[in-house]
């Protein structure tokens, strides 16, 4: 965690990557794509805590079909800038057995976290697995996972805003920013 002064300094030197208008248009587009594929499935939607809370909160009201909702909480980052070992904090409370699952996450970075969620859900008997990520980082490296629905792409830099944090701060921003190189 950082203090307010440190957070303000990070924001003051950050670069705007995607505007609030672009973010909102992206959520609307993703909602339409997800509706086209899953509107007849009554999926169990799993929000990946904490990063996907804002994305999920804005996406769900735009999905005009029945769904069930739960969340998972696992982390590779904590407050660090680089990922480490996956730690499960909360597994789905709802049974995934014989269900169509839609996992919502803020960012597809290396793909390790979402691959672990997919593997756990399918091992637990889900009949289908879908994922939607608000952003995908363009790392230039192969990933063990590709999302079914992807919103925006972001550069291979540390990004924050719209659910993504930097040292615990700035999840609440309506746009996407990147730390200057």
For residue 74, the model assigns a pLDDT of 84
Q: What integer is the mean pLDDT of 160-181? A: 94
What domains are there in the chain, each with its CATH number?
A: 24-173 (3.40.50.2020)
Phi, psi (degrees; rounded to nearest 5) at 31: -60, -40
Q: Is the pLDDT of residue 80 over 80?
A: no
* Residue 173: count of CB within 10 angstroms of its CB: 20
Closest CA to 51 of 116, 108, 92: 108
pLDDT, tens only, 3-59 = 999 999 999 999 999 999 999 999 999 999 999 999 999 999 999 998 899 999 999
Q: Is the pLDDT of residue 87 over 80?
A: no
Distance from C-alpha of 91 to C-alpha of 132, rounded to nearest angstrom:
18
Phi, psi (degrees; rounded to nearest 5) at 138: -85, 85
pTM over 0.75: yes
pLDDT band at 84 (very low <50, low <70, confident <90, very high): low
């Amino acid at each position: 965690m950082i203090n307010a002064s440190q957070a303000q300094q990070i924001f003051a030197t950050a670069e705007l990557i995607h505007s609030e208008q672009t973010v909102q248009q992206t959520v609307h587009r993703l909602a339409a794509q997800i509706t086209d594929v899953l509107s007849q499935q009554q999926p169990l939607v799993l929000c990946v805590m904490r990063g996907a809370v804002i994305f999920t909160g804005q996406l769900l009201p735009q999905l005009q079909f029945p769904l069930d909702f739960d969340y998972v909480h696992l982390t590779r980052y904590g407050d660090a800038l680089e990922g480490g070992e996956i730690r499960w904090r909360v597994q789905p409370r709802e049974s995934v057995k014989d269900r169509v699952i839609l996992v919502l996450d803020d960012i597809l970075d290396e793909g390790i976290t979402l691959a672990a969620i997919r593997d756990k859900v399918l091992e637990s008997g889900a009949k289908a697995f879908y994922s939607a990520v608000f952003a995908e980082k363009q790392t230039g490296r192969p990933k063990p996972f590709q999302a079914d629905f992807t919103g925006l792409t972001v550069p291979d830099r540390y990004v924050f805003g719209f659910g993504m944090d930097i040292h615990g701060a700035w999840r609440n921003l309506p746009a996407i920013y990147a730390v200057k190189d």
